[in-house]
Structures are given as C-alpha cells and as structure tokens.
Structure 1
Amino acid sequence: MGTILITGGTGLIGKELTKKLTSKGYVVNILTRSPKKNNEFRWNVKESFIDKDAFTNVEYIIHLAGAGIADKRWTNERKKELIDSRVKTTTLLFNKVQEYQIPLKKFISASGIGYYGAITSDKIFTENDKPENDFISKICMKWEAATRQFQQIDVPITILRTGVVLSKNGGALQKMNTPLFLSALGNGKQYMPWIHIDDLCRLYIKAIEDNNFSGVYNAVAPEHQTNESFTKLLGKVINKPVLPMNAPSFILKTALGEMAYILLKGSRVSSKKTNSAYNFIFPSLKTALTNIYNE
C-alpha cells in the first residue's frame, strides 16, 4: 500500500481516518506543530517549514488542517486565522511538493458546506451551485481556490464539502448533548446537513483508491433533517428530554456574535453526485445516531 501524508491528523476526523488507513495497510505520516510519535513530522506555516522527511514515499496528501470554525468568537483577528489556517497551509504544501519534486498522485482536501453560505432557502444545493457572499462561504471559496493550485502541476484533486460530522468521540454531538443545545435553535426550521464519521473516512479512502473519484463532492448523508427534527431524534435515541422551548435567536447572537448564523441558518445540500459513486453505510440519521450511542 502507499504512503499518505495527513494534515490535521491529530483532530477528530484525522485520528479516525489514520486508524482506518493503517488497518488497511497504508503508511500514514502526520504533519503537526509538535511531533510526539514516530510517524509525526513538524511543520510551521509562519516559518514556511515542513520537515522534508514527512514526504518520504508519499503518494497522496489529505489536507484536513484548519482552525475550528465554531471554537471561538469571530473577531477580525479570528476571521483572519480561520482563513490563513486553511489557505496558507495549502499553499505551503503546494510549494513544498514542487520544491521537493514529490511525484504526487492526488491532493485531497476538506472543505465545508458553508461554501453555499449560511442561508435558509427552498433550494437544494449541488456541487455546481455558486458560493454565497458571506464569511463562511468566503473561507471555503478561498480554501478550494488554494487547493486548485495543484491542478497547475497536473496533480488531480478531490474536494469534500463536509456537513456536520457525527462521532462518538466528540465534535458536534458532544456540544449538542447539553441543556442549551438539546433544544431547537431559533425557529428550528434551518436544515442541518450531516454525515457519520465512518462514511466521511470511507469517502477519503475512496478518493485515494478510485481515480475517477476526483473533483468536488458534497460529503453529506442523503437524508435531510431540520435542526428541530434532528434535535428531537437525538433526544429520543439518547433518552433525554428535549426542551419544549426553542433557544431564542437573540440569545445565541448575543453569546456567539456573527458566528451564531451558522447555527441559525442552513439549507439542504444534495448528496446525489456522491451517492452515485458511493453507498452510504449510514444514510439515515436514526441509523447513524443508534450506531453512535447504542453500539
């Protein structure tokens, strides 16, 4: 099997993906600011540095690194960090692949359904739709534009526009399973495109193993859920009461500022293109949540 270089390998998705890749026989190298294990290598964007040894025998790069969108309030400084942590890292990888003359077979990058903007509409967004003009959309747009640099040197790319990732090891479900969030947010009618972490990892592996799985794909499950229907089903599966009162929009806006819009707005995102190339293990929210909490 080949050698794969992963950025963001110490995060929620990166850890699970590394586990799945190594169990299949792949060698996985991880880029991190503070290497602790044998397969971890140092990189530093401010210094434009990547340890050359990280690229030994590497055929594929999976780029997951990026500051957490919902981790901190969106100050101007934080907004810059959210963009730079994605765009500058991609450009650094591009520059080093050329400098070290790495014979890369494919560059695979995360992106987000935020590409379509924090809006609630009747539209079901497909990969061909244009981006919105809000901040969350700009992050994704700039990240994807940086990824497309690899096409200039004839390296195929795959971009996975990812929804809310469901996992038993943290992430969105951990935040939702609290008194504040075990209630619908705002009017609850905003859609929450989601994906089970196992399906997401399998899509990354498919991007490695299937040459035809190139271009942009929405990494979301086929079933559409609103924030309200999602919360009710979550409460049922974990056997916890869902608050009868929705969390008011103004409280979220006061607490989170501009970032609140990514929780209060959301449209349906189509998985049709992805579904034509991949069979989801967890196509329904009930099967996904049951797997996470009851198995």
Structure 2
Amino acid sequence: MSKNVLLTGGSGFIGKYLTEVLIANGFSVSVLSRSDRKNTPLITYYKWDLENDFIEEEAVLKADYIIHLAGEGIVEKRWTEKRKKAILESRTKPIKLIFNILKKKNKSLDAFISASAIGIYGAYTSKQICTEDQPPANDFLGITCQKWEDAVDEINSLGIRTVKVRTGIVFGKNEGFLKKINPSFKAGFGTILGSGKQYLPWIHIEDLCQIYLKAVIDPEMHGAYNAAITDNTTNGSFSKILASLYGYKIWLPKVPAFLIRFALGEMSVAVLEGQRVSSEKIQQTGFEFQFTDIETALSHSLS
C-alpha cells in the first residue's frame, strides 16, 4: 500500500498544488477539513474543529507523514490583538492537538513537516543575508514564527523526524501573493510600495512543493530550511518587472510609507520591510531550484 500523507491546510493555495505533487509521486493523501467533503479515489477528508479542540483521530493514526500548512493569512486583516492571537493559534494549536493524539496513542510517524516563514528573521530591511542559524527577531512576526517552530519541536521530542520550511513570497498562477496585487498591475495601475528598497524573498510554487516532497522522502532532512531564492529582488524591481510583463513602465508615483502605515497599521511592516535569506542549506541537500530568475517565474505564473 502507498504511504499516506495527512495535510492540514490542504484546501489552500499551497495545499492544492502539493496534493497533486504527492499523488503524482505515489502517495495517498488525507486532508483535514472544517466542512463535510466527499472523498475521492485519491483523497480522504477528515473533520477538524480547532475552536473545540477536535481532530478525527483516525486521520492522524492512518498517517505515515503529516504536513502542516494551516494558518490564518498574515496580511488579510489589521493586526488587532484578537487578530494576532488568531494568527498564532491557527499555527500552533493544530500541532498541539496532533501531538496529544500521537502521544496518547503511542503513534509514530516517518516525519512531521511544517510550514514556517522567513518572518522569523524579523520585519526589517538590511544588507544581511539571513541563514537558518540566525536567532529569531523580537517582533510580532519573529515571535510568532518562533512559537510556531517551538510547537514543531514538541513533535520532535517524541522521536519523530521534523522539518520546518521557512517560506518566502510564493508565486503561482494567479494565486497567493499575485492574486492580491495582479488586478491593479494588469489594469495598468501597478506601482511601488514605500521606498521600494525592501527585499522580496520569493519562491515559485513548483519549487516549494518539490521542497516539501524532498522533505518527505529524504530521511536526512531535519530542522529548519529557508525556502526562498537568494537574490537581490526588491519591491521596486519586482514591481517594474511585473509591469513590463504587461507591456508598460510604471508611471504612478510610489505609495508613500506613511499612507501604508495609516491604512494597515502595524501590519504595514509586512509590506514595507523585507530581508534576503540564504538558500544554501536546502541546496546542500542536493535540491535544485527550477525557477531562479524572477522574470521567468513571474511569466510562468501569469501564463
């Protein structure tokens, strides 16, 4: 029988792509869902309800691998204290519930693989290239990612191999980040945010899914890995390239940082700041990125 991979967040942007990749590579897939869904020959759905601390135990007990992708969007709503709590708990609570089932049932896994984010290095812009050894920042994003990864380490304490995939901005066909900004660029109204000098660490969805697949099948992978291209892409260069793919040069003035701060509040740091990260560790595993040029990645994502 094929090995089973259980996904949290399996119905999201990354989860849908990853499900296809896993099935194409011979795995069976289970997905935790908040609503009733009809099983298919290739996907089994199980119920979960985080508000009531509930996960169908069979989903966990059936799994050989678990990939944790679930989490409230970072830039969906203003960062009120209530929203900050929801962002954190949507990432950590599923891990704690899974941990409890694994421990209670003395269940082992071949691996537990979790999303994380380059936000662990903090919302600031500098010339530094961040590696996985860098300590977490002491701001909201840094603290949130650290607590997220601490929850993963609890799974590791059960003797289960764990991998944490620190993800940058993900490009896919009119999904994720591009889905939010593409309409204005397509209409000819694209522009640069703030100074435009903030770095924009990015990865194509196909490369990200291949990193998750490698984390599943490579028993030597463990710990944290940056999943982003190491280059000098900034918000300014990204915006100019995206506009050029639609056949025009940016003509609108930059959106001043103070207006973005007024509109978004504390959340504005997520778009006004950004740093470069090193992809050396994942490449040392033998992984090769398919998309290393941002223009090519964007062109593929828009086609």
**Fold shared, TM-score > 0.5 on shorter chain:** yes
Question: How far did residue 47 of structure 1 move?
Answer: 2.0
CA–CA distance in structure 1, aligned partners of residues 15 and 67 of structure 2: 9
Match of 1:30, SS state, is strand
CA–CA distance in structure 1, aligned partners of residues 174 and 45 of structure 2: 21
- Is the aligned partner of 1:177 residue 2:182? yes
Aligned pairs, how many? 294
CA–CA distance in structure 2, aligned partners of residues 243 and 80 of structure 1: 39
Question: How far did residue 240 of structure 1 move?
Answer: 4.3
- Is the aligned partner of 1:252 residue 2:247? no
Alignment equivalent of 2:131, drawn from 112, 118, 126: 126
CA–CA distance in structure 1, aligned partners of residues 107 and 190 of structure 2: 48
Question: How far did residue 123 of structure 1 move?
Answer: 0.8
Match of 2:194, SS state, is coil
Unaligned runs of 5+ in 2: none
Return the TM-score normalized by structure 2.
0.93
Runs of 4 or more off by more than 4 Å in structure 1?
Answer: none
What residue is the counterpart of 1:279 in the other structure?
Answer: 288
CA–CA distance in structure 2, aligned partners of residues 37 and 223 of structure 1: 43
* Alignment check: 8 A CA contact 1:222 1:275 kept: no
CA–CA distance in structure 2, aligned partners of residues 3 and 273 of structure 1: 27
CA–CA distance in structure 2, aligned partners of residues 21 and 91 of structure 1: 25
Return the TM-score normalized by structure 1.
0.96
What residue is the counterpart of 1:289 in the other structure?
Answer: 298
Q: CA RMSD in A?
A: 1.4
How is 1:3-152 mapped onto 2 (pairs within 5 angstroms)?
A: 3-38=4-39, 39-152=44-157
Unaligned runs of 5+ in 1: none
CA–CA distance in structure 2, aligned partners of residues 243 and 109 of structure 1: 41
How is 1:232-243 mapped onto 2 (pairs within 5 angstroms)?
A: 232-243=240-251
CA–CA distance in structure 2, aligned partners of residues 58 and 210 of structure 1: 17
CA–CA distance in structure 2, aligned partners of residues 280 and 148 of structure 1: 27
1:11 maps to a residue whose letter is G
Question: How far did residue 99 of structure 1 move?
Answer: 2.0
- Is the aligned partner of 1:225 residue 2:233? yes
2:239 maps to a residue whose letter is T
CA–CA distance in structure 1, aligned partners of residues 29 and 246 of structure 2: 35
Alignment equivalent of 1:156, drawn from 131, 154, 161: 161
Question: How far did residue 212 of structure 1 move?
Answer: 1.0
1:253 maps to a residue whose letter is R
